[in-house]
Amino acid sequence: MRDTIFISHATPEDNEFTVWLASRLELLGYKVWIDKKELLGGETFWETIESVIKINAVKFLLVYSKNICYPDSEEIKGGIQKEIDFAKDVIKNETLNDFFIILHMDDSGYNLFPGAKDLNQIPFNENWAEGLTALQKKLVRDNVPVTDIHELDEAAKWYLNNYLVKNPIIEKKELYYTNWWSVKSMPKSFFIMRYKNEKQANKVAADNENYLLVKDANCVTTFNKRLHTKIIDSFGNTSILPYEVFEITISELLQGYEKESFPSFRDAENHFKKLFKRTLHLFFKNKQLYWYDLSNKNMAYYHTYTSLPTSKVTFDFPYRENARPKTKNLLGKHLEVGKWHFAISAKPALSPFLGFHLRSHLIFTKSGYGAIDDKDLQHTHRRKKGKRMFNEEWRDLLLAFIKSLGDSEGEIILKTGTETDIVMKPSLEMFWSDYGYFDPKDLKRQELFIDDEREDFIQEQE
């Protein structure tokens, strides 16, 4: 019975992706075969590979990157070519639905070997998780057999035991930091002002550009309902007034309400989130932070040497007695590219806390200011640097970033244009757990690098 997914890849260059993919597929319930002996420096006999492809494989996955070719050459490496040719022979001799699938890892052309462009290709070059989702849909559609969905088989066990960490989850009291950044206090209400037409709303927004507001169609949303606009016509000055003003309290927004007419709860939620997001954007802008447009139309905000001249931030850990403060760089030198910058994007949310759901990013610049336009280059260096960063470092960078936003008193105040501003908490939401683990350190992770990556890592540390 064909029940095994065979993964062909270049060793050692694509080892990390291959074992990541194998472990994820097995956690999803699929039976996977990868050449673990070769990964560990041993030797696998061709008869074993041939048998798996010919008899057991239901899918042949090729990790498709420039690494399958010899350096500075368009010739496919011997071992890879042998597996490709044998998979093609299997297809000729048997009727198999989309047996050969290419996992496209980088910007390589679509025809590294004859017939490659005619095969099913799934993109993994932008995001591994998105590629896995697309691959899983394909496997489900083609009825690839699965076992118990949480059973760890050979590749997953090998990955967890030999490639990640050898420290299991243990019982210990440990404080965990979330990526939720909550509101400490804010105005009790906000207002949705509805005008007769969009032209009037545009005029009001333009004439009150110094106020915090957002315009959507013929509506203007603000914390301050005392907006003013006058137009001059042949009869003198005439004020533009909204024909409806809706005051919505934050408490009823958080509790929810039922209403069929405008503004429904969904209307109120959408208008508030746009206003809340605009408030944060203006705060970052006034702090002289730069921002980078992400592919999901969100923005990642980062410090430069203007907003953070020393590049360093010193912060304390909550609940730690007699703990020394810690200092982190939020930007610095990165190889030949120029500079790296820690950045965050923020998504407004009403639950589980009123505040922002934060995501961490790495942005690269040549001069320390404007981001490099080449998205592929950004992606390449994001993976190159990010793969060496563990949970502890991401946590510390995020804590340092939040700390960097405070004023001289440590307060983080988002101006609303009213007597009551939005005050954010000076740290992230946290919770205690009865279980924990030991995070691996960078020196141990270096053992997993191939030689040129290890040299890059050492260069960055210097």
CATH of the domain at 110: 3.40.50.10140
How far is it, in rounded angstroms, from Cα 102 to Cα 98?
A: 10
CB 194 within 8 A of CB 241: no
Residue 366 has pLDDT above 80, yes or no: yes
Round the CA-based radius of gyration of the chain to a whole number and report it: 28
Q: 285 and 265 in one domain?
A: no
> Cα separation of 328 and 395, whole Å?
11
Mean pLDDT of the chain: 85
Q: For residue 206, how far is the Cα from the chain centroid?
A: 35
pLDDT for position 277:
97
- Whether 319 is in a domain gets the answer yes
pLDDT for 341 equals: 97
| pLDDT of 295 over the 90 cut | no
* Adjacent-strand bridge partners of 430: 177
Query: What's the one-letter identity of residue 45?
Result: F
In a shared domain, residues 242 and 364: no
Statement to judge: residues 231 and 179 lie in one domain: no
Counting Cβ atoms within 10 Å, is residue 105 exposed (0-12), middle (13-18) or buried (19+)?
A: buried
pLDDT at 17 over 90: no
297 lies in the same domain as 446? yes
Per-residue confidence (pLDDT) for residue 462, from 0 to 100: 44
- Please indicate, yes or no, whether residues 191 and 159 belong to a single structural domain of this protein: no
| Domain assignment of residue 169, yes or no | no
| pLDDT tens-digit map of 37-69 | 555 555 567 888 888 899 999 999 999 999 999
Where a domain ends, among 256, 276, 296? 276
Please report whether residue 230 resides in a domain: yes
Q: The whole model's pTM is what?
A: 0.64
List pLDDT tens digits, range 378-389.
988 888 888 778
With a cut of 80, say whether residue 132 has pLDDT above it: yes
pLDDT for 443: 42
Where does a domain end: 134, 164, 194? 164
pLDDT at 167 over 60: no
In a domain, 170, yes or no: no
| pLDDT value, residue 413 | 97
Judge if 153 and 224 occupy the same domain: no
71: helix, strand or coil = coil
Tell me: do 319 and 447 sit in the same domain: yes
Contacts of 338 (CB under 8 A, 6+ apart): 364, 365, 366, 367, 368, 372
Domain range for residue 156? 4-164
Asked if 263 and 357 sit in the same domain, the reply is: no
Q: How many residues can be counted in the chain? A: 462
Percent of the chain scoring above 90 in pLDDT: 53
Q: Which of 253, 276, 299 is the last residue of a domain?
A: 276
Same domain, 347 and 297: yes
The model's pLDDT over 309-325, given as tens digits with 9 standing for 90+, comes to: 999 999 988 776 666 88
Task: Report the distance separating Cα 309 and Cα 408, nearest Å.
Answer: 16
- Rounded Cα gap, residues 83 and 32, in angstroms: 16
Residues forming a β-bridge with 7: 61
Check whether residue 191 and residue 238 sit in a common domain.
Answer: yes
Least confident segment among 334-338, 356-360, 449-453: 449-453
